Amino acid sequence: MVVYGVALLSACLIVGMLIGEALGVLLNVEANVGGVGIAMLFLVIASNSSRFKSLVEGASGRGIEFWSAMYIPIVVAMAARQNVVAAFEGGVLAIVAGVAAVIVSFALVPLISKLGTKSSAENNEVDA
Amino acid sequence: MDILETVFVRNSLLVAFAVVGATLWISYLIADRLTHGRIHGSAIAITLGLVAAYFGGRYTGGSNGVADFAYLGGVGLMGGGMMRDFAIVATAFGVKIGELKKAGLAGVISIFAGVIVSFIVGALVALAYGYSDPVEITTIGAGAVTYIVGPVTGSALGASSEIIALSVAAGLVKSILVMILTPVIARFIGLNNPQSAMVFGGLMGTTSGVAAGLAATDPKLVPYGAMTATFYTGIGCLLGPSILFFIVRAVV
């Protein structure tokens, strides 16, 4: 059943969010700490384990794949509801700070990627 | 007119599906015909979305882009946090555990490095613009982390609402730039495998920016980048009003 996959997906997100909120309270932070990431880990574990086979294979799997495929349209909708005007009106300081942060972070990607395992560093060079 | 409004507003989510679908169709057509596939269709669609959000905000004076038009209210629901997170988690379906382990340490380092580096850059820009109050410098630095870390830090430290607005603007600029620039810059920074995508997500941290940027680069990389990015804001909210503020106060 398609809904089994959707239900598994929902359950992963809700439990992940609960853990993320609890972590936030524990750390005394007004934010959800990694809820989505934790939910993703649950889904990865479920889809790699034999115990959850009936929830991730066949029609159930298609229920998850549907939402995975809806990802780009949802991101386009997300872009269309951003407060772009506020970003522009923040003035020069906001733009300079944002631009500088992005440039420096981009530059660090290859550096920190190299800290990974040797094989991944080699892949980088071959593919580039 | 009344009939139109009744139907559109009552079925707002369906209107959003139709409008976004049409936008993607046009974008892929443009990508195919005008750029011969050099620019990814989803990158064009995301840019169109941002442009529409700009005019929506200008026209309505609201803060939710096109979603402030009554007819397009459903875009707000479709592109809101709940649906975004739901779809992001779904992209993790089929991810191999081995790929995650390979970038484990680099991924964790990237989150802390990303928060701290963006913060320092933002704080330096604030200093360069003549701010000298540690609370204000910290809030603007935190805004360069993400547009959530900025206001969380600012309100924890008791910054003025103008400074908080400024920090949100800095974070929004960052998020939008990541959306637009990622597909352009991907090849130059080796962003073509799950490991570098995890590092990328951890360094950039803006979930919306990373989500959209990777989607327009290579949808297969999305789950890896999103996984680390979602920890970033939490870590930022943790470090901003505490350690990073203490350091700024000690230095200034």
Residues B153 and B235 reside in one and the same domain: yes
Residue that is last in its domain, among B26, B47, B79: B79
**In this predicted structure, what is the pLDDT of residue A118?**
46
pLDDT tens per residue, range A15-39: 999 998 898 888 776 667 777 778 8
Q: How distant is the Cα of A15 from the closest Cα of chain B, in angstroms?
A: 12
Residues B57 and B165 reside in one and the same domain: no
Residues B231 and B120 reside in one and the same domain: yes
Mean pLDDT of A110-116: 76
A109 vs B173, B189, B207: nearest CB: B189
Question: Which of B 41-70 lie inside 8 A of A, CB atoms?
Answer: 42, 45-54, 56-58, 63-67
Residues B128 and B63 reside in one and the same domain: no
Q: How would residue A13 be classed by pLDDT, with cut points 50, 70 and 90?
A: very high
pLDDT tens per residue, range B159-207: 777 787 788 788 888 888 888 888 888 888 888 888 888 889 888 988 8
**In this predicted structure, what is the pLDDT of residue B37?**
65
All residues of chain B having their beta carbon less than 8 Å from the beta carbon of residue A30 are 152, 156, 237
Mean pLDDT (chain B) is 85
Residues B70 and B103 reside in one and the same domain: no
pLDDT at B212 over 80: yes
Residues A17 and A35 reside in one and the same domain: yes
Residues B201 and B110 reside in one and the same domain: yes
All residues of chain B having their beta carbon less than 8 Å from the beta carbon of residue A125 are 190
Residues A76 and A23 reside in one and the same domain: yes
Mutate to test the interface with A, among B66, B89, B172 (most CBs of A within 10 A): B89
Higher pLDDT, B65 or A29: B65
> How many domains does the structure of chain A reveal?
2
Residues B38 and B67 reside in one and the same domain: yes
Structural domain span for residue A128: 83-128
Residues A32 and A61 reside in one and the same domain: yes
pLDDT at A128 over 60: no
CB contact under 8 A, A97 and B144: yes
Q: What is the share, in percent, of chain B residues with pLDDT greater than 90?
A: 15
Residues B63 and B147 reside in one and the same domain: no
> How many domains does the structure of chain B reveal?
2
Return the top range by mean pLDDT from A53-57, B98-102, B209-213: B209-213
Q: How distant is the Cα of A51 from the closest Cα of chain B, in angstroms?
A: 16
CB contact under 8 A, A73 and B24: yes
Mean pLDDT (chain A) is 80
| Chain B residue with the nearest C-alpha to that of A37 | B227
- From residue B182, alpha-carbon distances to B27, B70, B139, B250 in Å are 18, 32, 26, 36
**In this predicted structure, what is the pLDDT of residue B77?**
93
A71 vs B96, B100, B222: nearest CB: B222
Residues A71 and A92 reside in one and the same domain: no
Mutate to test the interface with B, among A81, A93, A115 (most CBs of B within 10 A): A81
ipTM of the complex, rounded to two decimals: 0.82
Residues B122 and B242 reside in one and the same domain: yes
CB contact under 8 A, A16 and B168: no
Residues B131 and B220 reside in one and the same domain: yes
Residues B103 and B200 reside in one and the same domain: yes
**In this predicted structure, what is the pLDDT of residue A96?**
87
Mean pLDDT of B65-84: 89
**In this predicted structure, what is the pLDDT of residue A31?**
67
Q: How distant is the Cα of A3 from the closest Cα of chain B, in angstroms?
A: 14
pLDDT at A123 over 70: no
| Chain A residue with the nearest C-alpha to that of B80 | A78
Residues A60 and A32 reside in one and the same domain: yes
Structural domain span for residue B65: 2-79
